[in-house]
Amino acid sequence: MSRRLGALMLAVALVGIAACGSSTTASRDALRALAVKATTTTVAPSPPTTAPACANPEASLRPGPLPAPGALPAGSFMSAIRQRGRLIVGVDQNTLLFGYLNPASGHIEGFDIDMLRQVAKAIFGDDGQNQETHLQFVAISAAQRIPFVQSGQVDIVADTMTINCAREVVVSFSSVYFKAGQRILVRDNSDIKSSADLGGKRTCAAAGSTSISNVVDVSKTHAQSPAIPVQVTDWTDCLVALQSGTIDAVSTDDTILAGLKAQDPHTKLVGDKFTDEPYGMAINLSHPEFVRFVNGVLERVRADGTWTAIWNRWLGPGTAPAPPAASYRD
Ligand code: GLU
């Protein structure tokens, strides 16, 4: 398949996405997103983020016993969500395997989505309704994750989101539910082999992600000149830019790159992981009881084999490692 055909197929898939799910909020947002012309801009390296001291960003709030869906504490955020009848979730719709609007089914699906399903199940139980009716998807970009949690437009975000000290000042995180790491995706004829070769190369990542500043940091240490960061809205914008030759590399989490590679066989993943990206679900700072509740759900999901089943479903049957261990600060 030629690269141009690859790009065309992606474009066709995107049109399919637009056509298939017109009844959901997610697909309305998909249509809105498609209406916005993807712009590829070269940005100056961002200044180093002065993250506040935080000994262990992965340490979250310890869960108590998980209440039954019908016995959620009165006045709690979980109880309010149950009364509303819907858990409003911020998700990606462009990341194959993690949060992806499947053009064939019209449903958003992936590892992150299945994690959110577990939270919805703990709030609503098996009340005879399809769990899908209790989830309201809001498709957001990487840069929208924090503002949407802060403003209360979504109850929770599960979107390949790295837990770090800087973000913990503005949102709360659940315990870790996935451990990713940053790598590099290039065209299959590229001679870039690792982050050491990114000096002077146009390297694409989504705005609002940790990925661009990681690229600049690592290329500074290995190469004579830093990488040239190119910022886009969504990860699939990076793939189209790679296919059209306007960038040299995409660099982000191995999870996201695996999905992009699956969408274009004329690409290859190179180099080792050069960062740790522990994923957590983000929740508004004003709902610590909901953080503890979600952590209780994650405890159950790790212990009863659900986490392993979700891994095997999305990332390859029989390939699941042990679930990442939770750590707590209280
Ligand atoms: N995990 C990184 C982050 O949270 C990159 C992935 C993304 O932005 O979706 O910024």
Looking up tokens 């189209």, which residue turns up?
240
Inside any domain, residue 136:
yes
Q: Is 75 left (phi over 0), alpha (psi -120 to 50) or beta?
A: left
- Residue 10 pLDDT > 60: no
Most ligand 1 atoms within 8 A of CB, residue of 141, 161, 177, 214 to mutate:
161
Inside any domain, residue 310:
yes
Residue 270 main-chain phi, psi, to 5 deg: -130, 160
pLDDT band at 218 (very low <50, low <70, confident <90, very high): confident
Reported as half-sphere exposure (CB side, CA atoms, 13 A), residue 102 has a value of: 9
- Residue 222 pLDDT > 90: no
Same domain, 159 and 226: no
Inside any domain, residue 219:
yes
- Work out the average pLDDT over 108-123: 97
pLDDT band at 11 (very low <50, low <70, confident <90, very high): very low
Inside any domain, residue 206:
yes
Same domain, 114 and 218: no
> Domain range spanning residue 100?
2-41+75-178+278-316
Distance 11 CA to ligand 1 centre (A): 23
pLDDT tens digit string along 79-107?
Answer: 999 999 999 999 999 999 999 999 999 99
Q: What percent of the chain has pLDDT over 70?
A: 82
CA distance 287 to 304: 26
CA distance 178 to 54: 20
Q: Where are the beta strands (DSSP E) in 165-281?
A: 172-173, 178-180, 182-187, 202-206, 228-232, 249-253, 267-270, 277-279
Q: How far is CA 19 from CA 236, 255, 263, in A?
A: 18, 27, 19
Q: Could you tell me the two tokens for 176?
A: 């870790």
13-17, 130-134, 262-266: the lowest-pLDDT one: 13-17
pLDDT value at residue 89: 98
Same domain, 287 and 144: yes
pLDDT band at 225 (very low <50, low <70, confident <90, very high): confident
Q: What percent of the chain has pLDDT over 90?
A: 75
- Work out the average pLDDT over 20-28: 36
Inside any domain, residue 200:
yes
Distance 70 CA to ligand 1 centre (A): 35
17-21, 132-136, 236-240, 285-289: the lowest-pLDDT one: 17-21
Same domain, 251 and 168: no
Where helices occur in 133-203 by DSSP H, the ranges are: 145-151, 165-168
Distance 173 CA to ligand 1 centre (A): 14
pLDDT value at residue 118: 96
pLDDT value at residue 86: 96
Distance 37 CA to ligand 1 centre (A): 22
CA distance 185 to 240: 12
Number of the ligand 1 atom closest to the C-alpha atom of 180: 1
- Residue 328 pLDDT > 50: yes
- Work out the average pLDDT over 249-270: 98
Ligand 1 pocket, 211 CB below 6 A? yes
pLDDT tens digit string along 54-87?
Answer: 889 999 999 989 999 999 999 999 999 999 999 9
DSSP state of 162: B
Q: How far is CA 56 from CA 156, 211, 244, in A?
A: 22, 20, 41
Number of domains composing the chain: 2
Number of the ligand 1 atom closest to the C-alpha atom of 92: 9
56-60, 108-112, 126-130, 307-311: the lowest-pLDDT one: 126-130
Distance 276 CA to ligand 1 centre (A): 11
Inside any domain, residue 54:
no
